[in-house]
Amino acid sequence: VYQRKETSMWVLHTCLCAVQGVAILAGGLAGDYLGSTRTILIGAFAAAVLAMPCFKAMGAGRFFISGLGQGVFNLALGFMGGSLPAWMVSMFPVQLRFSCIAVGYNAGQAIFGGTASIVGTMLFRSTGDTLAVGAYASFLALLSFFAVLLTARRERGKQTRPDLLAPGSRSLGQCRGFRQEEEEKEEATLAPP
């Protein structure tokens, strides 16, 4: 009996990895069409809305329902994760990109991801319900949603400088707009008064 349950868990784990892999690819493709910021916002919002029902399903005690809850939650997380690398690259100039991404991403993972299992275990022990763990996951997803939303609003007003960007990191149209503006300034200074 034990061997059969262990095999079923490995099959479930493999299926969930496949679901998340497909969701990551879909999120990356959506990021190409919608933009990485919008795609991350959609994924974070979906994770926030779905976290509590999915975690409730995970605690149902039934194999299929538990797997379904995990799979649906993995779809939201994978969709968000598909555009995350492109979004992080677009946030920083080339000279600072590696350090900023390394410190920012890993600090966030250590603080929130590293403590999530501890907090989740404490919540489950104190309440006896997976719904509390889902509420915590929903809170973290909302935190991500608003952090990305505020960053997007801050970045919207900034001028794109092609000399600070790696090739292919911004659209060519944005770079052309910057060059055209620079040429107009140069012509204005060279023109006789």
For residue 38, the surrounding DSSP H or E stretch is helix 36-58
pLDDT tens-digit profile of 27-47?
A: 999 999 999 999 999 999 999
> What torsion do the CA atoms of 86, 91, 94, 95 make, to the nearest 10 degrees?
-140
- What's the pLDDT at 173? 45
pLDDT tens-digit profile of 58-105?
A: 988 888 898 999 999 999 999 999 999 999 988 888 888 888 889 988
What does the mean pLDDT of the chain come to?
A: 83
> For residue 67, which phi and psi values (nearest 5 degrees)?
-65, -40
**Mean pLDDT within 163-178:** 48
Only one residue has tokens 């795609």, namely: 39
- The structural domains of the chain, ordered by start, are 2-158 (1.20.1250.20)
pLDDT tens-digit profile of 93-151?
A: 888 888 888 998 899 889 998 999 999 999 999 999 999 999 999 999 999 999 999 88
